[in-house]
Amino acid sequence: DAGVTQSPTHLIKTRGQQVTLRCSPKSGHDTVSWYQQALGQGPQFIFQYYEEEERQRGNFPDRFSGHQFPNYSSELNVNALLLGDSALYLCASSLAYLDNNEKLFFGSGTQLSVL
Amino acid sequence: GNSVTQMEGPVTLSEEAFLTINCTYTATGYPSLFWYVQYPGEGLQLLLKATKADDKGSNKGFEATYRKETTSFHLEKGSVQVSDSAVYFCALKGTGRRALTFGSGTRLQVQP
């Protein structure tokens, strides 16, 4: 049973560029959440997708956008990259109606470096 | 808004020592509380959780009790092992919210 998989594992971009990160949820899960984890900090919630719609959003600018596909996989897009966007981006999946959506399974993350 | 404060690390202990990592929170209503662990090179894993006051979450020898009167959820283990070396995150999920709010993490180093 595959867990949450994210790609790529590492990425280097320059300021102003755009990036797309991908996530495949754990088998059977229908909800995907994205978190940003800066070095030495705890993860911060970006947004959550369920039924292909953004259900809740954290305090992130519109440069951060996402998408969920019919197979429940998800993408995170970041436009006009800033140096401060350098971080580990974590994807977490869950099942909407199990444990009140509280049992999250995290991927290993994509390490984004913006130069 | 919701927030979580946990003790700064690193916490360095010898094998078989007693562990406490302090966590306090600010939230309205009745949040659910969690401890997640992040081993080197791996994603976060749920260690334990508690969903209401006075609940005790436990797993792999770790315990934490939801104390509403002190807004705390301290993590404890009676005898740590080298394999427990990791970063531990306290987190909460507010009532009606979909997001987890994490603390900044506490690195635990256990020496043989």
Q: Measure the CA angle with vertex B55, ends B53 and B56; round to 5°.
A: 140
Residue A101: the pLDDT is 58
DSSP characters for B26-80?
E-SS--EEEEEEE-TTS-EEEEEEE-STT-EEEETTEEEE-BTTTTB--EEESS-
Task: Kindly list the distances between the CA atom of residue A90 and the CA atoms of A34, A48, B30, in Å, as whole numbers in the listed order.
Answer: 6, 12, 26
CB B5 within 8 A of CB B21: no
Span A33-66, pLDDT tens digits: 999 999 989 999 999 999 999 999 999 999 999 9
Q: Measure the CA angle with vertex A35, ends A30 and A38; round to 5°.
A: 160
Task: Kindly list the distances between the CA atom of residue B7 and the CA atoms of A23, B41, B52, in Å, as whole numbers in the listed order.
Answer: 32, 23, 23
Residue B95: the pLDDT is 78
Facing A102 at nearest CB: one of B32, B41, B43: B32
Residue B71: the pLDDT is 96
Beta-carbon contacts below 8 Å between A and B: 55
pLDDT at A2 over 80: no
Of all residues in chain A, the one with the smallest CA distance to B100 is A45
Distance from first CA to last CA of chain B, Å, rounded?
41
**What mean pLDDT comes out for the span A60-84?**
97
**What mean pLDDT comes out for the span A83-96?**
94
Q: Measure the CA angle with vertex A113, ends A110 and B3; round to 5°.
A: 65
Taking an 8 Å Cβ-Cβ cutoff, which residues of chain A contact chain B?
3-4, 33, 35, 40-45, 48, 55-56, 58, 90, 92, 100-109
Phi, psi angle pair for A100, to nearest 5°: 55, 35
Q: How far is B32 from chain A (nearest CA, A)?
A: 9
Span B57-77, pLDDT tens digits: 999 999 999 999 999 999 999
Mean of the per-residue pLDDT values for chain B?
A: 94
Residue A1: the pLDDT is 62
Span A12-40, pLDDT tens digits: 999 999 999 999 999 989 999 999 999 98
Instruction: Tell me what percent of the residues of chain A surpass a pLDDT of 90.
Output: 88
Facing B44 at nearest CB: one of A41, A103, A106: A106
Low-confidence stretches of chain B (pLDDT < 70) are none
Facing B43 at nearest CB: one of A44, A101, A106: A106
